[in-house]
Chains A and B, each alone.
Chain A
C-alpha cells in the first residue's frame, strides 16, 4: 500500500536558521532517506524548491491565468514528498514521525489512490 508523506514546514524558519543548523538538518534528511531506501519501503523522494520559485496557473474559459507564488498563502508550505510502500497506516505513521520536519512542521499522510488504468 502506497502513501504520500507530504512535508509541510515554515520556509521562513528555514531561512532564519544558521548555515550550520541548515547543514545539520540536511544531513538528517540524507540519513533518513538512506534508512528508508535500505528498508526497501521507499517508492520515491521529491524535495521541492521553495515557494518563491512557484508558479500557479488556472484555466478559465479556455484562458490560462498564470500567477506568481504558491496556490495558497499559508503558515507552512509544502516542501517535499516521500512516497512509501508499506503494510498499513501504522507503518506509514512510524516512517512519517521520523522525518526531521515532523518535529517543527507537519507531515500529512495520504493513501495513494489505486487506479491501475492511470
Chain B
C-alpha cells in the first residue's frame, strides 16, 4: 500500500497542473476546479490502489474531477441555490448528457498557456499576477508563496482570493490574446515566468539553494510559450536565458550544499547539450532583428557559457551587451552588473567610481550583491580592510542561508589576492 501511495503521489504531482488548467477552462472557476481536483485525487487513491493505475491518468483525473464538480454544484444548488452557480450547473448538466461527453476528457497543453495569460492579465495587480501564476501553474501552496516573498500567508491568501474573484466577476477570459494585443500582454507573462525561474534558481525558502521543480516548470512553460509564438523573439530569448543559467545547476552547489561561484565552478559539470540548445535559440531569436531585454540577457549568459575557463571570458563583449540592455531597462541592478563587467574588462578602479554613483542614489543599500561586488573590487586592489567592511554591509541582506554562509566564510578566511577574482551578482547569476 505505501508503495502504491508513493507512486500515486508521483503521478499526482506530474498530472495536477495540466489537469487543473484544463479544469479551470472547463468549469470557468478556480476554486471549484481546485476542489474538484482534490475530490478526484481522493477517488483515485481508492480506485487505483484496487484496480491499478489507468493507462492515461491525466484523462482519468480530468474526467472524474469534472463529474465531481457537477456533484458539488448539484449539492450547492440544493443548499444555497446561488444564481450564477445554478446557471453553470445547468449548463454542465446539459453538456454531460450529450453523447460526446461520455468520451474521456484529456488535459490540453494549451490550457496552461491560456491560464498564464489569465493569471498575468493587466487588469490584475502585479503581486496578484505572480501569486496566482505560482499557485495555479507552479503548484506552490499559499504558505510557500508567502515564504518566497517574505509576506504573511494571510496577505497572499487574500491576494489570490481577490484575484480569483475579479477574474470571475469582471469575466477575465481564459484565452491567448490575439495578435494586436499580444505584445503588451506578453511582457507581463515573460516577467512572471522569469520571476518563477529565479525563485527556483536561488530559492529563498526551503533551505535548499535550487528548487528544481520550480525551475523545471518555468522552463516547461517558457518552452510552451515560445512554441506557441514561434515568430516572437522574446519568449525564445527567455527560454534560452533559462536553459543557459540552469545548465550550471550541478556545478553551482558543492557537495556540502554551499554556493560555488561562477569562476570557481567545474565547467565540465555544465550541461553541454542544454548550453548548445540555449545558444542555438538565442542566435535564432536575434536573427529576427527585434532585440529585447531577454535576448540580450541570454546573449550575456551565452558569452559566459562559451568561455572554456573563467579567465577566457570575453568581458568586453559583456560590457557592450549590458550597455544595450540599459537602453531597455535603466535599473540600478543592471548598472551594477555593467560596473562588474567593466572591472574585468578595464579595471576595478574605474568600476568602483561607477559604484559610488550608484551608492549616492541609495537604491541598492539593501542589496547584498552590491556590497559583495564592491568588496571583491577592493580585494582585487589589495584593500582588504575596505573589502571586509563591504562584506559586513552585505551580511544582513543575504538572500538565503547559502549566501549568508558564503559571506561569513569570506569574512573569516578571505581569499588571497593572487587567487583569481570572484563575482557575485544575482542578475548576472555570478553563481
Contact = CB atoms under 8 A, between A and B. Distances in A.
Interface in B78-97: 83-84
Contacts of B121: 89
A115 B171 CA distance: 16
Chain B facing A: main interface SS: loop
B125 to A, nearest CB: 15
Contact of A89 (B83, B84, B173): B173
Nearest to A91: B173
A75 B198 CA distance: 41
A87 B169 contact: no
B188 to A, nearest CB: 14
Nearest to B177: A90
Contacts of B418: none
Interface string B40-73: 0000000000000000000000000000000000
Contacts of A105: none
A90 B170 contact: no
Contact of B173 (A90, A109, A111, A116): A90
A104 B121 CA distance: 23
Contact of B175 (A90, A93, A116): A90
The bracket for how many chain B residues form the interface is 10 to 19
Contact of B170 (A87, A89, A94, A116): A89
Interface in A65-118: 87-90, 93-94, 109, 111, 114, 116
Nearest to B175: A90
Interface string B120-142: 01010000000000000000000
B181 interface: yes
A87 B28 CA distance: 14
A87 B343 CA distance: 56
Contacts of A109: 170
Contact of B83 (A90, A94, A116): A116
Nearest to A111: B170
A88 B83 contact: no
A114 B83 CA distance: 10
B279 to A, nearest CB: 37
A57 interface: no
Nearest to B167: A89
B344 to A, nearest CB: 47
A117 to B, nearest CB: 10
A1 B172 CA distance: 11
Contact of B171 (A94, A111, A116): A111
A87 B175 CA distance: 12
Given A90-B177, A90-B181, A1 B171 contact: yes
Contacts of B84: 114
Contacts of B172: 88-90
B177 A111 contact: no
Contacts of A94: 181
**Residue among B169, B171, B175, B177 with max Cβ neighbours from chain A (10 Å):** B171
A55 B177 CA distance: 43
A109 B169 CA distance: 12
Nearest to B121: A89
A61 B408 CA distance: 68
Interface in B166-216: 169-173, 175, 177, 181
Given A88-B173, A111-B170, A114-B84, 12 more contacts: A1-B171, A87-B173, A88-B172, A89-B123, A89-B171, A89-B172, A89-B173, A90-B172, A90-B175, A90-B177, A93-B123, A94-B181
Interface of B: 83-84, 121, 123, 169-173, 175, 177, 181
Interface of A: 1, 87-90, 93-94, 109, 111, 114, 116
Task: Give 9 nearest A-B pairs by CB, closest first.
Answer: A88-B173, A88-B171, A89-B172, A111-B170, A89-B170, A1-B171, A89-B171, A90-B173, A111-B169
10 contacts: A87-B173, A88-B173, A89-B123, A89-B171, A90-B172, A90-B173, A90-B175, A93-B123, A111-B170, A114-B84
